[in-house]
Chains A and B, each alone.
Chain A
């Protein structure tokens, strides 16, 4: 743990409570791993126009959904049986929210596969329109950092990741401008170009969900809700607490 303020999961008088929390945390991390793989595969499908990969991404989403349900259930059981307070309560609340965002990231990854598959079926591919690599790299790195911040309860990493949102927004806007230009120049491309824009949109959403996870990390560590706050104000508030 990099942060002195990071709460300790272990150390409860009830050893079983320790292991329940550890178990649930590990499940969130493996759900995160699964989501990361899905996102990478989704992006790979866009880059390589590999219909097998695209199809697999679409088919594997159910695994993430199942994990969300399982972790949800375990959180509810701990809430009911342990009545957690303070950092334990914040951990469970952060987990409940995090898995919702992870599941939605999974949905976005699935969309990447599905849209690319539709493009391939129409004899096209996203590559023919714009380069989604850069946006893809940006958001998959953000997701990776968000999961890292969660695993290590590292507020520094979380804050740095939140800052990356500006870059994502810029890249997304630039891609949209390019796509609009293409559509205006040749209206026959509209059907495919729209699909590509939805892919860009899905990537951008993955970035947004990753930021949400980073915000839950700040809440988990400092007990401070930093959602819907401008980045500079956010840094000031964290500095006040620390």
Chain B
């Protein structure tokens, strides 16, 4: 056990000790993503403890848990976003379609084209709306001519539910859009490179209910072709969009199950307390 865990308050300590392995169906047949015994450290501090979780094809999995539980850290380890943090170290087996994503042969840039990410805070490039979406397809040479690029940009904006609002100002800067529009622009940018997996870290936390509903509808549509892992603090959102739900607490994966089961009859006391909004 890491040093900081020993220094935790007695209550938190009890919770930490209460979690012995993962309850529920964390492993599945023929997964898209497979992660086994994943530990993540920031320098000496351990953020994830021995998490094993499979993510299926065409499935939306919701990762939930209180702040600091490791769900975002886990999500970021799935497309090696943690590589950008020098102190961060990931161990364990993480495979995408059976390929080790942490092998030397794996190019992180190509991996991130296959495993796209939408962040909590919208982060459009300081470029035009059009160029924001066209950036990825250009980088990866996905369009042979301008007409094809137009098609990709428009389709991506449409699927992100943004096109109608921006079709007359595609050459204006993306940063001039409202927060909700910027987030949908970022989703359009992610979709534009046709990823296999989309990771979403609180994608709708800054959006109004209508924009949120549009994003959730989009997630449902995208599921037909992609695998989606979404970190969310909104219980209702997790319940609405996902087929499976994984609950993280204090860096451990506590429980995984069908979303229906997790929200009506969770098996672990800590899951129950979190979902019903109770003190631990």
Determine which of A13, A90, A224 lies in contact with B277 in the assembled complex, contact meaning CB atoms within 8 Å. A13
Closest residue of A by beta carbon distance from B280:
A11
Determine which of A8, A14, A85 lies in contact with B275 in the assembled complex, contact meaning CB atoms within 8 Å. A85
Binds A, one of B17-25, B74-82, B99-107, B259-267: B259-267
**Which residues in chain B, 24-71, are within 8 Å of chain A measured between CB atoms?**
none
A60 to chain B, nearest CB (A): 37
B30 to chain A, nearest CB (A): 28
Closest residue of B by beta carbon distance from A84:
B276
Would you call A17 an interface residue if the criterion is a C-beta within 8 Å of the partner chain's C-beta atoms? yes
Would you call A72 an interface residue if the criterion is a C-beta within 8 Å of the partner chain's C-beta atoms? no
**Which residues in chain B, 240-280, are within 8 Å of chain A measured between CB atoms?**
263-266, 271-273, 275-279
Closest residue of A by beta carbon distance from B271:
A86
Closest residue of A by beta carbon distance from B236:
A83
A83-B236, A85-B235, A86-B272 as given contacts; A14 in contact with B265, CB under 8 Å: no
Q: Which chain B residues lie closer than 8 Å to A84 at the CB level? A: 276
Closest residue of B by beta carbon distance from A82:
B277
Could you say which of B263, B264, B276 has the most chain A C-beta atoms within 10 Å of its C-beta? B276
Would you call B239 an interface residue if the criterion is a C-beta within 8 Å of the partner chain's C-beta atoms? yes
Number of residue pairs A-B, CB distance < 8 angstroms: 42
Closest residue of B by beta carbon distance from A89:
B264
Cα separation A85 to B266 with both chains bound (whole Å): 10
B9 to chain A, nearest CB (A): 17
Cα separation A21 to B278 with both chains bound (whole Å): 13
A91 to chain B, nearest CB (A): 10
Would you call A239 an interface residue if the criterion is a C-beta within 8 Å of the partner chain's C-beta atoms? no
Would you call A33 an interface residue if the criterion is a C-beta within 8 Å of the partner chain's C-beta atoms? no
B272 adjacent to A11 (CB under 8 Å): no
B179 to chain A, nearest CB (A): 24
Q: Which chain A residues lie closer than 8 Å to B265 at the CB level? A: 86, 90, 222-224
Cα separation A83 to B264 with both chains bound (whole Å): 12
A83-B235, A87-B272 as given contacts; A13 in contact with B266, CB under 8 Å: no
Determine which of B263, B273, B278 lies in contact with A89 in the assembled complex, contact meaning CB atoms within 8 Å. B263
Q: Which chain A residues lie closer than 8 Å to B263 at the CB level? A: 85-86, 89
Closest residue of B by beta carbon distance from A14:
B277
Would you call A228 an interface residue if the criterion is a C-beta within 8 Å of the partner chain's C-beta atoms? no
Would you call A50 an interface residue if the criterion is a C-beta within 8 Å of the partner chain's C-beta atoms? no
Q: Which chain B residues lie closer than 8 Å to A222 at the CB level? A: 265
Cα separation A12 to B277 with both chains bound (whole Å): 5
For A6-20 the 0/1 string (1 means CB < 8 A from B) is 011001111001000
Q: Which chain A residues lie closer than 8 Å to B275 at the CB level? A: 85-86
B235 adjacent to A88 (CB under 8 Å): no
Q: Which chain A residues lie closer than 8 Å to B276 at the CB level? A: 12, 84-88
Cα separation A203 to B236 with both chains bound (whole Å): 43
A223 adjacent to B264 (CB under 8 Å): yes
B65 to chain A, nearest CB (A): 15
A13 adjacent to B264 (CB under 8 Å): no
**Which residues in chain A, 213-234, are within 8 Å of chain B measured between CB atoms?**
222-224
Q: Which chain B residues lie closer than 8 Å to A85 at the CB level? A: 235, 239, 263-264, 275-276
A95 to chain B, nearest CB (A): 15
B277 adjacent to A17 (CB under 8 Å): yes
Cα separation A89 to B239 with both chains bound (whole Å): 13
Cα separation A222 to B266 with both chains bound (whole Å): 10
A9 to chain B, nearest CB (A): 10
Cα separation A83 to B278 with both chains bound (whole Å): 14
Q: Which chain A residues lie closer than 8 Å to B273 at the CB level? A: 11
Q: Which chain B residues lie closer than 8 Å to A223 at the CB level? A: 264-265
Cα separation A223 to B268 with both chains bound (whole Å): 13
Cα separation A222 to B277 with both chains bound (whole Å): 19
Could you say which of B235, B263, B275, B277 has the most chain A C-beta atoms within 10 Å of its C-beta? B277
3 interchain residue pairs of minimum CB distance: A223-B265, A11-B278, A85-B275
Name 27 A/B residue pairs within 8 A (Cβ), A-sorted. A8-B278, A11-B278, A11-B279, A12-B276, A13-B277, A13-B278, A13-B279, A17-B277, A83-B235, A83-B236, A84-B276, A85-B239, A85-B263, A85-B275, A86-B263, A86-B265, A86-B266, A86-B275, A87-B272, A87-B276, A88-B276, A89-B263, A89-B264, A90-B265, A222-B265, A223-B264, A223-B265
New A-B contacts (18) at CB < 8 Å, excluding given A11-B278, A12-B278 = A8-B278, A11-B273, A11-B279, A12-B276, A12-B277, A13-B277, A17-B277, A83-B235, A85-B235, A85-B263, A85-B275, A86-B263, A86-B265, A86-B266, A88-B276, A90-B264, A223-B264, A223-B265
List chain B positions with a Cβ less than 8 A from chain A.
Answer: 235-236, 239, 263-266, 271-273, 275-279
